[in-house]
Amino acid sequence: MAIYWIGDIQGCDAPLGQFLDQVGFSASRDRLYVLGDLVNRGPASLEVLRRLSNLGNSVKCVLGNHDLHLLAVNAGAKKPSRNDTLDAVLEAPDKSELLNWLRHQSLALYSEDVLMVHAGVLPQWSLTETLTLASELEEILQGPDADEFFFQMYGNEPAQWQPHLQGMARWRCALNALTRLRFCNASGLMEFDTKEGTAKAPAGFMAWFEVPHRQTADITIAFGHWSTLGAVQRRDVWALDTGCVWGGCLTALQRDRISESPKRIEIKCPSYQRPH
């Protein structure tokens, strides 16, 4: 059995198919973890959702900000962006089944001795707290109040986690960390404007995984979301968004045994023409 972790796909079904063919992925034998942003900006979001959902229990995904955007647009809580490439999903005859599958994916996963999120983990959070907050959000997304949640989901506040947060303030802060975080300061105040790499960190801020004494420093965390960061493979962090949709690579890690260091696999991607 081989275990794979793969970065942001963002509607790039051809490179995803090439990757699965290249490694000889077997749904009955292997396991694939997808680190969020399955859809949007690329040309084939519908095909990506169909391919991954058809692989059954061999695939587990965490949700990214673009996946949540698709669910919010479908709920009428958000207008489509000019750069969206989601029409094929929203008009598909199997839309309901695919979006139901999508909203039953996770916000955080811990398996194979790896914590998986789309964007980041705040320095105050332990592994248990991260999974507890993710579980709260998953219960909302999978329940009858999901559409109402999407109408209140957007916004940057509160930008700093406090244990006493309740209701929508608690859930929005947690969701922003799990799906949008790049930079924060030493006390966990999040900064959302900067999308460049670590060399462009705003004054007083740093990459979330560089905060001293963060509670998850002894755990390997796999994440995507940050294409300008590039691939990072350290003991404590695996960053796997390498800008597939922007003409970079679709990057994955493969591990055959928990004790071994994973090897990197890169699939070069075409540069897709964006909608105008």
* Domain 3-181+219-268 class in CATH: alpha beta
Band (pLDDT 50/70/90 cuts) for residue 144 is: very high
Q: How far apart are CA 237 and CA 254, in angstroms?
A: 15
C-alpha angle 94-100-101 in degrees, rounded to nearest 5: 90
Q: How far apart are the first and last CA of the chain?
A: 44
CB neighbourhood size of 99 (10 A): 19
| pLDDT (0 to 100) of residue 167 | 97
Domain boundaries, the chain: 3-181+219-268
| pLDDT (0 to 100) of residue 216 | 98
| pLDDT (0 to 100) of residue 276 | 44
Per-residue buried b or exposed e for 37-63, using 16+ beta carbons within 10 Å of the residue's own CB: bbbbbbbbbbbbbbbbbeeeebbebbb
| pLDDT (0 to 100) of residue 135 | 98
| pLDDT (0 to 100) of residue 265 | 96
| pLDDT (0 to 100) of residue 261 | 84
Band (pLDDT 50/70/90 cuts) for residue 30 is: very high
List beta partners, residue 239: 223, 232
- Is 90 exceeded by the pLDDT of residue 273? no
The tokens describing 6, both together, are 């793969």
Handedness of CA 233, 239, 242, 244 (dihedral sign): positive
> Taking the complete model, does pTM exceed 0.85, yes or no?
yes
List beta partners, residue 268: 249
Interval 212-269: pLDDT, tens: 999 999 999 999 999 999 999 999 999 999 999 999 999 999 999 766 789 999 998 8
Interval 145-191: pLDDT, tens: 999 999 999 999 999 999 999 999 999 999 999 999 999 999 999 99
Interval 44-94: pLDDT, tens: 999 999 999 999 999 999 999 999 999 999 999 999 999 999 999 999 999
